[in-house]
Amino acid sequence: YDTGLTALEDSAGGLSRAMVEVVEQAGHEPQLALLKAHPDLAGRLAVRGELTSESTAEQAAAGLGQCAPEQYAAFRRLNERYTQKFGFPFILAVRGYDRDGILECFQSRVDNEVDVEFDEALIQVHRIARLRLEALFTKDT
């Protein structure tokens, strides 16, 4: 609480809302840096086993660790196209998706306008953070 948090933030939802507010107030450049720090889905870090334990578990639950070679190739092509167009990696809170659903979402979003996709990527970052906070708060109870 020394850093300005109150009892209102002492829950997954409250802390998530506070984090969203900080990101929204940060401005474009810090937001872009946040997006750029995100790993590619089914990308090199995943293949090399260098994701965080949370990302590894989320991607594994979505079946991304069991992609057929043609699916990995599709992810690789989409990751390259997406990053070239938007300047940051494709971000999706994958919980509740399977490989086909993720690819479908990826293929749809790569055609978005830059400002629309920037906003959507931030929404996905917030969703990932909220889901992880909920898991942490649940684990602690």
Active site residues: 38
DSSP string, 41-96: TT-HHHHTT-S-HHHHHHHHHTTGGG--HHHHHHHHHHHHHHHHHHSS------TT
What's the rounded Cα separation, in Å, for the pair 134 and 116? 27
